[in-house]
A and B are shown apart, each in its own frame.
Chain A
């Protein structure tokens, strides 16, 4: 068995197929900045982040969220080699962006909350568990090249 069992892959891909990646990206990044305001430290150039409403409607937040989640989505296609898939991005986040990997864990959990919010009962405990593995795997892969 690889990183996810066949059943878990089915659950993840089944749900992900219904996700509007662009929209969910903006929502997840926005909520990260609202719920954990210290994460705003990476986005000083994004303009108005002064309130929850300002953050959620900020066009730079939406654009960046879209970018981040499309990258995550690409990574899902290489679920059995996340470290390979995210190697370059890992180097970038360490050497250029200087992002503490704890932030990947925070974003991963916010993404899980957004999926729960969108899918309600369909986001049952088994689906959540599979996604928790995925977000943990992606966070670890993004942290893998740190030095």
Chain B
């Protein structure tokens, strides 16, 4: 699966529109993930996961910042995300299935907040992008 020039352009344009809301959307995507896929909460026993939690807000910002970095380096995701890839492989060890849940909830969040941008073609490009990021983050698991 390869990101085409059109995919990269769609992702950059959409992420650009999000601007400073990225952190807020990251937090919302996490909240949606915990609500819809309760097994994902097992990775956050140390967090307050209630609505509006400061920890979830901070973590959402962290996730969003990493995605912003990824958007800026779509031509070489493995290099750009190498440190995060190590972290997920050796320390966090989040089961790969969970990246699909968060990716889906990121799509849902963007669809809610940016209906005009969320065309079928952009939906496809974003899904591919999140999938590519997930692949890189799990690439050193074994």
Is the Cβ of A125 less than 8 Å from the Cβ of B36?
Answer: yes
Is the Cβ of B112 less than 8 Å from the Cβ of A116?
Answer: yes
Is the Cβ of B108 less than 8 Å from the Cβ of A52?
Answer: no
A34 to B120, CA, bound (A): 7
Q: Indicate whether A113 reaches chain B with its CB closer than 8 angstroms.
A: yes
Encode A11-44 as 1/0 by CB contact (under 8 A) with B. 0000000000000000000110011000000000
Is the Cβ of A52 less than 8 Å from the Cβ of B120?
Answer: yes
Is the Cβ of A35 less than 8 Å from the Cβ of B123?
Answer: yes
Q: How many residues of B contact A (CB 8 A)?
A: 22
Is the Cβ of A113 less than 8 Å from the Cβ of B115?
Answer: no
Q: How far is the CB of B132 from chain A (nearest CB, A)?
A: 14
Q: Indicate whether A96 reaches chain B with its CB closer than 8 angstroms.
A: no
Determine the main DSSP class of A at the interface with B. Answer: helix
Encode A116-147 as 1/0 by CB contact (under 8 A) with B. 11111101011011001000000000000000
Q: Please give me the residue from chain A that is nearest to B105 by CB atom.
A: A128
Q: Please give me the residue from chain A that is nearest to B109 by CB atom.
A: A116
Encode B13-28 as 1/0 by CB contact (under 8 A) with A. 0000000000000001
Which of chain A's residues have a CB closer than 8 A to the CB of B119? Answer: 52
Q: How far is the CB of B26 from chain A (nearest CB, A)?
A: 14
Is the Cβ of B120 less than 8 Å from the Cβ of A56?
Answer: yes
